[in-house]
């Protein structure tokens, strides 16, 4: 999956995946191992789609681009397991959006790369 990447790039990618996974699973809901695996797959898919298609140059400056990022988050997180009630789903969408808004101020460059 990470062929052609430097070790530091793999670490950054994994750190970002873990941050998104944690946002989706903590402090709620209680998940089975199968549900955790599904949430992990969704977190990886979300990160890939946003980095490839939505986190463009100055994405935070334009309302349309910010809306596209939020719509992508909502669309992909809609596949979360049924244990995510509507209020939890909405809270998780907002948390993930805020994470990307803060952590990705520029196109595809996260604050993780500054560490």
pLDDT band of residue 4 (cuts 50, 70, 90) is: very low
pLDDT digits over 66-99, tens only? 999 999 999 999 999 999 999 999 999 999 999 9
The predicted model gives 26-41 an average pLDDT of 93
47 closest CA partner among 7, 27, 76: 76
Give the bridge partners for 106, in sequence order: 109
pLDDT band of residue 107 (cuts 50, 70, 90) is: low
Please give the span between the terminal C-alpha atoms of the chain, in angstroms, as a whole number.
23
Q: What percent of the chain has pLDDT over 70?
A: 80
DSSP 3-state percent helix, strand, coil across the chain (nearest 5) = 70, 0, 30
Q: State residue 10's pLDDT score.
A: 36
CA separation for the pair 20, 104 (Å, rounded): 13
pLDDT band of residue 21 (cuts 50, 70, 90) is: very high
Q: Is the pLDDT of residue 7 over 60?
A: no
Q: What percent of the chain has pLDDT over 90?
A: 65
């Amino acid at each position: 999956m990470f062929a052609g990447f430097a070790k530091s790039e793999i670490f950054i990618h994994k750190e970002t995946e873990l941050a998104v996974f944690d946002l989706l699973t903590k402090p709620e809901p209680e998940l089975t191992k199968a549900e955790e695996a599904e949430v992990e797959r969704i977190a990886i898919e979300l990160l890939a789609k946003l980095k490839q298609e939505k986190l463009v140059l100055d994405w935070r400056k334009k309302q349309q681009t910010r809306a596209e990022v939020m719509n992508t988050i909502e669309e992909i997180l809609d596949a979360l397991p049924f244990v995510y009630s509507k209020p939890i789903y909405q809270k998780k969408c907002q948390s993930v959006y805020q994470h990307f808004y803060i952590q990705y101020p520029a196109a595809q460059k996260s604050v993780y790369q500054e560490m």
